[in-house]
Homo-oligomer: A and B are copies of this chain.
Amino acid sequence: MNTLGIIQTKEITFAQPPDELILESGQKLGPVTVAYETYGTLNAAKSNAILVTHAFSGDAHAAGYHEGEEKPGWWDAMIGPGKAFDTDKYFVISSNVIGGCKGSTGPASINPATGKPYGLDFPIITIPDMVHAQKRLIDHLGIDTLLSVAGGSMGGMQALQWAVSYPEKIRSAIPIATTLKHSPQQIAFDEVGRQAIMADPDWHEGDYYGKAHPERGLAIARMVGHITYMSDQSMEEKFSRRRKENDYAFSFKSDFEVEGYLRYRGDTFVKRFDANSYLYITKAMDYFDVAGKKFIAADKKVDAQFLILSFQSDWLYPSYQSRDIANELRMRSIDVTYCEIKSTYGHDAFLLEVDAETHLIKHFLEKVSQQKKSPTV
């Protein structure tokens, strides 16, 4: 498969004032660093830029390889020469959300007021705040209008937020496996993860940097997450009731493969993710709500076209939530294509159903590219 080869993460810092971000909470955040990567080449008209937005635990490294690493970026199957987001045609931008822990300013960053990591002094951030920081990055890159903004899960929320906050700055959006608003069930799963972290004695009210991190709590939070990312069927296919040993252990050691898998995924996650970022980013998702009147204003003329994708077995962001997005767009006479993709992978499908997504996204982007921005009548 074609690959982008070695990619480096870059960063841009918007130094304070007047460059600080005014957050939805009313608090100010500055300086704000945004870590990002780009793939492909921006054309002379600057009309081929696509912003790819990551899910909860993602980062700026969406495609290609980092020097010395064996695993490519999280959406490498979708971004590259000839792929869904074809870097022979498009200039793809991916950035780490603020509040994250992969280069962009977050709770582990140094608080300029104290010279120490923010911890819980980091302000609560929201999906709109993340998108406003991305808008700064896009401005910095000299791009006026994005050809598209695309992402799955929390990435889809950002795509929707772009449509709400900057409808005139996008020619299309591809929200995948996402929702207009976090449901109480989605909030509940997030809250369990937060409680697991905050119950860890190593959490110390978020003030653990330089000391032991709340790894057990974070691992448990991640285990819960992983269950919600898979489906009943995909777990059955992947694990069934297989055990390492033929006999039951008759102890609390993990004898089922699914137990070992969850523990492994929990333990590897703590090596790459900051517990406080888990708190902040889940809270941002829980606060997300652009349903009804909070969606694009009804009297606004929006030229952007939408491709909404969901997956049959995704029970964390069920298809009815994507249908709700499509309906809100249709109510506003906005161009929308909705497709529910057959899949047994559950929510993880947005990372795994590459063939179906590629087919749909490739043609959608070609259609959008070929259309001139329609003049306001």
Question: Residues on A close to B: CB < 8 A?
Answer: 25, 27, 120, 123-124, 181-185, 187-189, 191-192, 194-196, 198-201, 216-217, 219-220, 223-224, 226-227, 230, 232, 235-236, 238-241, 248, 250-252, 254, 256-259, 262-263, 266, 279, 283, 286-287, 289, 315, 318
Contacts and interface: CB of A to CB of B under 8 A. Distances in A.
Given A185-B232, A259-B187, A289-B241, A192 B223 contact: yes
Contact of A235 (B27, B184, B196): B184
Nearest to A198: B252
A256 B287 CA distance: 10
Residue among A27, A123, A185 facing the most chain B CB atoms (10 A cut-off): A185
Contacts of A226: 188
Contact of A258 (B181, B191, B250): B191
Given A25-B250, A199-B217, A258-B187, A224 B182 contact: no
A283 B252 contact: yes
CB-CB nearest 4 A-B residue pairs: A184-B258, A184-B235, A199-B216, A25-B250
A187 B256 contact: yes
Residue among A184, A195, A198, A262 facing the most chain B CB atoms (10 A cut-off): A184
Stoichiometry, copies per complex: 2
Contacts of A200: 199
Contacts of A187: 241, 256, 258-259
Contacts of A198: 252
Contacts of A27: 250
A318 B236 CA distance: 14
A102 B189 CA distance: 29
A256 B216 contact: no
Nearest to A190: B259
Contact of A183 (B120, B191, B216, B232): B232
Contact of A250 (B124, B196, B220, B232): B124
A185 B230 CA distance: 9
A135 B167 CA distance: 68
A196 B183 contact: no
A326 B105 CA distance: 56
